[in-house]
Amino acid sequence: MGTQSVHKSAETIWSIAARQHGVVSRRQLLSLGWHPEAIKHRMRKGRLHPIRRGVYAVGRPLLTERGNWMAAVLAAGPDAFLSHRTAAALWGIRPARANLEGTRLVDLTVEAHRRPRCVGVRLHRVHALVDEDRAERDGIPVTSPFRTLIDLALVLPLGELERAINEADRLGWIDPETLRSMAEARTGQHGVGPLRAVLDRRTFTLTDSELERRFIRLVRRAGLPVPLTQHLVNGVRVDFYWPELRLIVETDGLRYHRTPSQQAKDRIRDQGHAAQGFIVLRFTHAQVAFDAGGVISTLRAVMSRQRPTLWTR
């Protein structure tokens, strides 16, 4: 290899390393025409530093967290992807956490027929990743936010899974309505069941008649009189109304993700009622269905303050 070719090769390696957070693979070096002895020579000179099997840090051995993740992907070979907890950390929907030994295992997904030997890696094998499961962030192959949440559903308690969904929604990676429809198309796939269990609680809706029956049962348990339903107050129709308590209860359309426009209209309506001296409470369908105790205690507290003489229990 001539001097000009050597300089060009060095520039190429530096550009590759820059894209890959400071690391290159032996496979990449060989594909550029490097002889194995040339790799050994640069290792002796301190220009290449072994990080993982067949992966080297270029220039200096210190790597960022992303550099370590990229090194793990390169060591696992073609079609390896960060996944599960590590993918969640890369997408920013869940922090990276050390295990009991104080180290952070890297979660990788590879095709089922492959068994790469990688230290410090938690390996997950699948028959295939479809296109919507594959993504790249900061130059690192990673499972898509959708696939990452499915994988997290297999390893996280439901409370932590819900927090990850909330964060993915907040960051704009995927909204829960889209997530719900995509999950429905994957019925039967491992991880989809727990994911839908969380989403069902947040996107849960009842028909008007079923909602009314359930809510009236909670009203009676709270000791309140039966309210008027679908009554006009201040020129707008409200879900439940107690004239004697000047209390209005609305049960939102209660999809998981209400638009800013819908939320603004709700606030304007509520403010109009408040200006006329009414108390307005909003409960979600999921609260009515799954959090009876919370709804009852709230109703009782408001009734106790508004009209103590109506307290019957």
Averaged pLDDT for residues 229-246: 92
pLDDT by residue (tens digit) across 120-156? Answer: 999 999 988 899 999 999 999 999 999 999 999 999 9
Of 202, 236, 262, the residue that ends a domain is: 202
Residue 262 is predicted with a pLDDT of 73
- pLDDT score of 203 more than 80: no
- The answer on 107 and 31 residing in a single domain is no
Give the strand order in the sheet containing 48-52: 23-25, 55-58, 48-52
- Rounded to 10 degrees, what is the CA torsion of 6, 7, 13, 16? -140
- The answer on 279 and 240 residing in a single domain is yes
Using a cut of 0.95, tell me whether the model's pTM lies above it. Answer: no
- The answer on 195 and 76 residing in a single domain is yes
- Residue 69: give its domain's CATH number: 3.30.460
**Cα angle at 159 between 158 and 163, to 5 degrees?**
115
- The answer on 153 and 232 residing in a single domain is no
Residue 5 is predicted with a pLDDT of 53
Q: How far apart are CA 215 and CA 205, in angstroms?
A: 13
Amino acid at 284: T
The residue among 10 and 310 whose pLDDT is bigger is 10
pLDDT by residue (tens digit) across 160-171? Answer: 998 898 899 889
Inter-CA distances, 281 with 31, 57, 68, 73, 302, Å:
66, 59, 50, 51, 9
Q: Which two tokens stand for residue 20?
A: 């890959």
Averaged pLDDT for residues 208-215: 82
Residue 312 is predicted with a pLDDT of 47
Structural domain count of the chain: 3
Residue 254 φ/ψ, nearest 5 degrees? 55, 35
Of 154, 187, 202, the residue that ends a domain is: 202
Task: Quickly list DSSP for the chain.
Answer: --HHHHHHHHHHHHHHHHHTTTEEEHHHHHHTT--HHHHHHHHHTTSEEEEETTEEEES-S---HHHHHHHHHHHH-TT-EE-HHHHHHHHTSS-----TTS--PEEEEEETT-----TTEEEEEES---GGGEEEETTEEEE-HHHHHHHHTTTS-HHHHHHHHHHHHHHTS--HHHHHHHHHTTTTSTTHHHHHHHHHHHS----HHHHHHHHHHHHHHHTPPPPEEEEEETTEEEEEEETTTTEEEEE----SS--HHHHHHHHHHHHHHHHTT-EEEEE-HHHHHH-HHHHHHHHHHHHHHH-GGG---
- The answer on 272 and 212 residing in a single domain is yes
- The answer on 238 and 197 residing in a single domain is no
Q: Which value, in Å, is the radius of gyration of the alpha carbons in the chain?
A: 29
- The answer on 80 and 190 residing in a single domain is yes
Provide CB contacts within 8 A for 8, sequence distance 6+: none
Scored b (16 or more CB within 10 A) or e, 256-286 reads: beeeeeeeeebeebbeebeeeebbbeebbbb
- The answer on 257 and 184 residing in a single domain is no
Amino acid at 237: R
- The distance between the two most distant Cα atoms of the chain, rounded to a whole number of Å, is 98
- The answer on 265 and 160 residing in a single domain is no
- Residues spanned by the domain of 190: 65-202
- The answer on 198 and 103 residing in a single domain is yes
pLDDT by residue (tens digit) across 257-287? Answer: 456 677 788 889 999 999 999 999 999 877 8
